[in-house]
Amino acid sequence: GNPLVEAMTCGAPVACSNAAAMPEIAGDGAIFFDPDDVGDMADVIRRFLEDGALGREMSEKALARARRFSWRRTAAETIAVLKSAAERTADR
């Protein structure tokens, strides 16, 4: 997931696999392809190369989506989960 978010943070139009957590991470900030279908992958890349407006639109969407991710937020959410788990354990 990190390379995906890094690409989105740079404003790169993103083409990525529709498998695993990629759709959840990228949301509307990417165009997806079937990783087992080379033709599908090539079609998505071709769309970016041939349609400059699509590339610009996806670049803007990628940047907007990337703003949802930050190390500060990740750390805060991780701490909250750990505190909650510790409190539940202490209550036993």
Indicate the domain borders of the chain. Answer: 2-90
- C-alpha of 21 from chain center: 8
H helix runs in 1-92, sequence order: 2-9, 22-26, 38-50, 52-66, 71-90
What pTM did the predictor assign? 0.75
| Distant-in-sequence, close-in-space partners of 30: CB < 8 Å, separation ≥ 6 | 4, 8, 14, 15, 16, 22, 23, 58, 62
| pLDDT tens digits, one per residue of 39-64 | 999 999 999 999 999 999 999 999 99
How much is the pLDDT for 22?
95
CATH number of the 2-90 domain: 3.40.50.2000
